[in-house]
Amino acid sequence: MPPEVPGSGDTFLSQFSNSEESSEHFSPAPTGYVSGKTKFVVVIGTVMSGLGKGIFASSLAKLLQDKGLSVAPVKLEGYLNIDSGTLNPYRHGEVFVLDDGLETDMDLGTYERVLNQNLGRRNFMTAGQIYTDILERERRGGYLGRDVQMIPHVTGAVKMRLRELAMTGPNAKQVDVVFVEVGGTAGDYENGFYIEALRELAFEEGDGSTCFVALTYILEPSILGEQKSKAAQLGIKRLMEAGIQPHIIACRAKNPVLPKVAQKISMFSNVPMKRVFSMHDRESIYVIPDAMRCEGLDREILSLLHLHDRVDTAAEDRARKGWDAFTAQLAGTRDHRITLGITGKYAALRDAYASIDKAVEHCAVTLGAEVDIRWIDTSDIETGARAAASLEGADAIIVPGGFGMRGVEGKVLCVEWARVNRVPFLGICLGFQMAVIEYSRNVLGWKDAHSTEFDPKCGHPVISELPDQKRLEGIMGGTMRLGAQDVAVQAGSLASFLWKGATTVRERFRHRYEVDPTFIQQLESAGLVFSGRHPKHPIMQMLELPVKEHPFFIGAQFHPELTSRPLVPQPMFMGLIAAAIAQRDPTFAQSELGRRWVRSTSNAPSQPAA
Catalytically active residues are: 429, 559, 561
Q: Count Cα atoms within 13 angstroms, Cβ side, for 574.
A: 26
Report residue 551 CA to chain centroid gap. Answer: 30
566: left (phi over 0), alpha (psi -120 to 50) or beta: alpha
d(CA 557, CA 577) in angstroms, rounded, equals 19
129 close to 81: Cβ distance less than 8 angstroms: no
Which pairs from 418-424 meet CB under 8 Å and 24+ separation?
418/391, 418/553, 419/545, 419/550, 419/553, 422/550, 422/551, 423/391, 423/394, 423/395, 423/396, 423/397, 423/583, 424/395, 424/396, 424/397, 424/551, 424/552, 424/553, 424/576, 424/579, 424/580, 424/583
d(CA 232, CA 442) in angstroms, rounded, equals 58
Give the pairing type, strands 39-45 and 177-185: parallel
Report residue 456 CA to chain centroid gap. Answer: 33
Distances (CA, A) of 189 to 114, 158, 164, 248, 591: 30, 16, 26, 24, 57
**Cα angle: 309, vertex 311, 317; to 5 degrees:** 150
Taking residue 204's Cβ as centre, other Cβ atoms within 10 Å add up to: 17
What contacts 582, CB < 8 A, 6 or more positions away?
551, 588, 589, 594, 598
d(CA 63, CA 313) in angstroms, rounded, equals 12
d(CA 507, CA 541) in angstroms, rounded, equals 10
Amino acid code (one letter) for 383? T
In this structure, the dihedral spanned by the alpha carbons of residues 251, 257, 263 and 265, taken in order and rounded to 10 degrees, is -30
d(CA 443, CA 308) in angstroms, rounded, equals 65
d(CA 85, CA 96) in angstroms, rounded, equals 9
Q: b/e string for 100-128 if b means 16 or more Cβ within 10 A? A: bbbbbbbbbbbbbbbbbbebebbbbbbbb
Number of helices (H), then strands (E), in the chain: 20, 21
Closest CA to 569 of 418, 431, 382, 363: 363
Which pairs from 115-118 meet CB under 8 Å and 24+ separation?
115/58, 115/61, 115/62, 115/65, 115/71, 115/73, 116/565, 116/566, 116/567, 116/568
d(CA 156, CA 42) in angstroms, rounded, equals 17
285 close to 55: Cβ distance less than 8 angstroms: yes
d(CA 414, CA 94) in angstroms, rounded, equals 22
